Amino acid sequence: MFEGFVSDKVYALVHSPETVTSSLAAAPPTESVGAVAEKLFGLSPQRAHNLKVGHRRPTKEDLDRVAECGKFTSRPSDLFLQIYGEVLRTYEYDPLANLCSPSLAASTGVIPLSIISVIPDIMRHYADCIVRAEKEVFFATIFSPPSEVKGLIDIFCTSSWEASVAADVITDALRELSRRAIQRGEKVAVKIMYDRGNIKQMYKPHQIVPVAEYTGDAVKLPHPDEVPGIDMEVDRKIALINSNNTQDRVNMEMMSHVEGPIVEAFYDMALLSWNNAFNPPLPLLACPPTPPAKYQFGDDHAHIAGKDLAGAKEDAAESIKTHDFPEDMKHHDDGYDADYVAEQRHEESGLHGTNKFSKLAALTKHLNTTLTPDTKATLPEGVDMEDFTPHIIHAPHDPFPIAMVNRRPRGAIEYTDINNPQDMAWLAAFEYAERKVFIQTPTFNAAAVVEATLAAVRRGIEVILYVNLGYNDGGESLPFQGGTNEVVIANMYKQLEPEHKKLLKAYWYTGKDMCRPVNASKKQRNCHVKLMIVDDHVGIMGNGNQDSQSWYHSQEANIMIDSPAVCKEWADGVRGEPASWPSLQEGPLRDTNNRIANQNTHLYGRLDDDGIWRDSKDGSVLEDMGSTKGGSILGLGKGLVSAVQRVRGKGGF
């Protein structure tokens, strides 16, 4: 038995040629994914306990062994290996703790595109990918269990689904995909999975949803008769992972478009999440893709070219009318962009202002989406704003290390389950950081992350927090949920010694057209980005919030990357680079070293070292700041209502 950081058992697991995907491909068509996984890895995994991060510092030999536990083309950084080594320890107790086969969980990939913007921008990219799928599509979200309808997609995401403009973009894309598939004479397989808190899930978590239910008013997926060209229940080359739900929300969100060998981990994770047998089967199940000799970026990267089919212009016009796109934001003739460079140009064409609208007015209109058309900017007209650039087209780069850091769902009403890949990765990021940790999250209250933050600050690590004021406060006020962001951050400052307070830099999210934070309860300018960047080169993004629900209960999917270049471009998109921040008092409002910051949090959101936001000019506090004490009976009542709404898909996630 190897006595170092990675045991012989775990080492063997990550080098096994057998995966859920390969075993399912060899199994009879009627075999369920769950049955295949059980044969490979056992039915009743142990729950890991007391896997203390940093139990001992890994040696160079330990890190060498961790480096052998992923299909990397170059050695990852020590920080990446330290974090991933802690993740590997969870496999000792549960080989599927990471929601994918161990041998697929860490490899390489590229990210040619990220989007940091409102939900419609992300949904349009999904639609552009969906309509060009040739074989299969897998779309996963939260707002009800697995749904088999007639079709297929090359996407994996997790979010909430409800009938909405955002969902309409996807359903219209499915109809277009069906039409194209019929013209080609070959159906596409589409699997849609969503979670809706159905009572039937108490005894069987994975339910096939009847046609009448998934076509009903709450969901409004297309009826099988509308999409005869798809068998809907990823072409296995692209994975999209994002923070947003398939709903209409005023949230700023983040999505990354991932390619390369790591997509196989997404595919395996999608199969495990589906759990049931596939009917019809996935056409690419036994056909793993071959990575290209050279990845394409920027103008050289195009999705499958769409044909200008008969009637496409008419369909596109109807789609544009349905989704209320401004005239100057119409794009490709068939309603879908040919590639993401065209996407970027299409978005920017509507954001730089016209004779009718100023640049600020155009931006406000874009951020308002369809939900808050009357929200007014508080940023003064004439301010020399940095550009708002939804699409971050990453500079060309070689494949870099990427690992899945996910967590299984756990319904038990307790708050100690941190020994899972997601939580171990987050905790290890704090433990092994040498300089700074940046986090943007809608909610920040899990006991484990609060403790890790305070410990990191006390050992000299700078921690920057971008958090929403008032986000989902009702639900977070319930017992054991951790408390509201206002209460938690104020208490953190109270606990810190004066010499350490300067290293905790907390901000309330501030929209790009605002000069003051807006309480999220107003549903005008919210942020739902979930991002961590450590020492400028290791990034973790995906679904997981820094709250009790995500830390201890929900199924979550995240990727961890080892790339200074992409982390820098992500940081520029959210302004997570403190060295370039002007002070609130001194200005200037424009930082010429960073063009694409898609929010004004860095300029106007900073809290004082007592956890209170004050206006830099007159010292006034926000009139809708919220309590920093918490614990009222009224708050408990609101929390119960919010919790019910959240389960029903109506609350914040």
Q: What is the pLDDT of residue 235?
A: 59
625 or 580: which leads in pLDDT: 625
Q: What is the pLDDT of residue 644?
A: 45
> Mean pLDDT, to the nearest integer, of 321-350?
50
The answer to whether the CB of 379 falls within 8 A of the CB of 514 is: yes
* Region of poorest pLDDT, from 10-14, 110-114, 249-253: 249-253
Q: What is the pLDDT of residue 447?
A: 95
* Region of poorest pLDDT, from 265-269, 450-454, 575-579: 575-579
398 or 311: which leads in pLDDT: 398
- Sequence-ordered alpha helix ranges (H) in 131-207: 165-184
Q: What is the 3-state secondary structure (H, E, C) of 391-437?
A: EEECCCCCCEEEEECCECCCCCCCCCCCCCHHHHHHHHHHHHCCCEE
Q: What is the pLDDT of residue 381?
A: 77
Retrieve residue 648's tokens. Answer: 């029903």
Q: What is the pLDDT of residue 219?
A: 52
* Region of poorest pLDDT, from 123-127, 290-294, 369-373: 369-373
Helix (H, G, I), strand (E, B) or coil at 453: helix
Q: What is the pLDDT of residue 578?
A: 43
The answer to whether the CB of 562 falls within 8 A of the CB of 538 is: yes
- Asked if residue 91 has pLDDT above 80, the reply is yes
- Asked if residue 475 has pLDDT above 70, the reply is no
- What pTM does this model have? 0.82
Report the relative pairing of strands 188-193 and 436-441 from DSSP bridges.
unpaired
The answer to whether the CB of 116 falls within 8 A of the CB of 573 is: yes
* Alpha carbon distance 226, 232 (integer Å): 11
Digit-coded pLDDT (tens) for 393-403: 899 999 999 99
| pLDDT over 70 percentage in the chain | 69
Retrieve residue 227's tokens. Answer: 């999409």
> Mean pLDDT, to the nearest integer, of 303-316?
30
Q: What is the pLDDT of residue 362?
A: 86
Q: Which residue has the tokens 């969503």?
A: 194
* Region of poorest pLDDT, from 45-54, 208-217, 404-413: 208-217
- Sequence-ordered alpha helix ranges (H) in 532-651: 548-552, 564-574, 601-604, 633-647
| pLDDT over 90 percentage in the chain | 43
Digit-coded pLDDT (tens) for 153-173: 333 333 444 556 677 787 888
Mean residue pLDDT of the chain comes to 77
Digit-coded pLDDT (tens) for 173-197: 888 888 888 888 888 888 776 554 4
- Asked if residue 412 has pLDDT above 90, the reply is no
CB-count exposure of residue 580 (10 Å: 0-12, 13-18, 19+): middle
* Alpha carbon distance 273, 161 (integer Å): 16
Which of the residue ranges 110-124, 147-161, 177-191, 416-430 has the most confident prediction, judged by mean pLDDT? 416-430
